[in-house]
Amino acid sequence: MSLLSITTFLLHCTDSALSFYYDPQLYVPKYRDYLEAQGNLTKDLFRNYEKDVSPVYAWYDTSKPLGYDKEAPQRWNYTLFLYSLKLVQVNEPEEQVSVVLELMEYWYDPRLSWNASDYRNVNAIFTRQDKVWSPTLTPFGINDLIDFRDQDFRLVCLDNLGMIYDYLSARVSVICRMNVARFPFDTQICQIRFSLPIFSFKEVKIFSEVYEGIQNASAFDNMGNSEWRLTNLTNRVDFLSFQDRFDLELAVFEIKITRNPLYYFYMIIFPSFVINSVSIMGIFLKGADKMSKLNVGLTNIMTMTFILGVMSDKIPRTGSIPLLGVYIIINLLIMLAAIFVVMMITKLRRWALPILRKKKTPMSRKLETFIGSPLEYTCAVILELITCANFFLMIGFWINDQETVLTKG
């Protein structure tokens, strides 16, 4: 009885498996034909394939110039295709820029080509990357690279022409020398460079490409962050020469980023202008004693010095003075001039008033009147005008920066 039950159960399972196998909603016959053709193709394709050996042609005389052998194939081609970029962080003190890149790399391996008609017109398959030989893409001059791909399961696409397509998603940190002379209205240019250092330029020809869909103003707006705007993205191939057979080519992606100065305007530029203007009025305030005026000036100087310290933490230690630093230093000098003028006016009165009172002429009376409050008011107005001119100069730089961005957009 138990044997009959087991037999009945096995027959039922067989019928269920067969009905599932040919169920048109789950497993259509054409899908089965494709998998069979793909299986046959995979067996034939990898039967004698050596994944540890490179397909790069290196059968040439290194002492002779490139292209001397007319019968040899062209240089092995490797292409790096950028189709997404996102600016993550700009670390000015360390002169480091971090971006997230989405790249497609593809190359040619003639050992993995086939005649599609022999395998029911299967012209592409997807397989694990560890089954094929892959070039080692190396960042050149890059401080850090974090690969986001699954290290244990990576797929590549093979087509019947022998082309292999691979996907790369990584965070890259590059050293970018910064020019902060116009800070905070500065623009920086950074390069992200890749190479295949094992192979020389006589063996490998590198191509760099950028997807056209991201080379427009609307795409650039999404590539930046809250502080920096990406204004341009270009690509090229550079040649790096060591004066020997190991000269190589570099795939270069160059980004141009412009700082958004609004934060520095309302956190540093405008408060500095207000503090300086009020301090000048306080120093020349009629009726205040000398020590009170001196305290106002010294407090202003300490505030400007603190602002300079805050700014110095945001920029690299370069030989040039940034524009914002020049603005704050001018405000500092204006306040020093205000303190000096107040002290000199006090000494001038002590020295000149007795002399003018002795002469008793119309001119001496006018000078005696002018040395009083009018002289202080005149000096205060002049220093306020210089402060305003310094402030409106920064506004001019800001307007010019906005017009430049809108013109390029």
Q: What pLDDT score was predicted for residue 206?
A: 94
CB 245 within 8 A of CB 201: no
Which pLDDT band, with edges at 50, 70 and 90, does 199 fall under? Answer: confident
Which pLDDT band, with edges at 50, 70 and 90, does 235 fall under? Answer: very high
- The rounded mean pLDDT for the chain is 83
Number of Cβ within a 10 Å radius of residue 123: 13
Whole-angstrom Cα distance, residue 76 to residue 107?
A: 8
Which pLDDT band, with edges at 50, 70 and 90, does 26 fall under? Answer: low
Which pLDDT band, with edges at 50, 70 and 90, does 212 fall under? Answer: very high
Q: What pLDDT score was predicted for residue 24?
A: 59
Number of Cβ within a 10 Å radius of residue 391: 20
Q: Give the SS3 label for residue 103.
A: strand
Question: What is the mean pLDDT of the segment spanning 337-363?
Answer: 73
Q: In this structure, which amino acid lies at residue 347?
A: K
Q: What pLDDT score was predicted for residue 20?
A: 40
Distances (CA, A) of 299 to 180, 282, 332: 28, 11, 11
In percent, the amount of the chain with pLDDT more than 70 equals 83
Highest mean pLDDT among 39-48, 257-266, 333-342: 39-48
Q: What pLDDT score was predicted for residue 5?
A: 58
How is the beta sheet containing 248-259 ordered, strand by strand? 138-140, 187-195, 248-259, 228-240
397-408 per-position pLDDT tens digit: 888 877 776 665
Q: Give the SS3 label for residue 114.
A: coil
Task: Write out the two tokens for 153.
Answer: 């399961």
Q: What pLDDT score was predicted for residue 356?
A: 61
279-309 per-position pLDDT tens digit: 888 887 776 666 777 777 778 888 888 877 7
The pTM for the full model equals 0.79
Is the model more confident about 16 or about 263?
263
By mean pLDDT, which of 183-187, 242-246, 354-358 is the weakest?
Answer: 354-358
Q: What pLDDT score was predicted for residue 288?
A: 65
Within 22-99, residue ranges assigned H as helices are: 29-45
Task: Write out the two tokens for 6.
Answer: 């087991």
CA dihedral over 299, 302, 308, 313, signed as positive or negative: negative
Nearest to 219 by CA among 205, 229, 204: 229
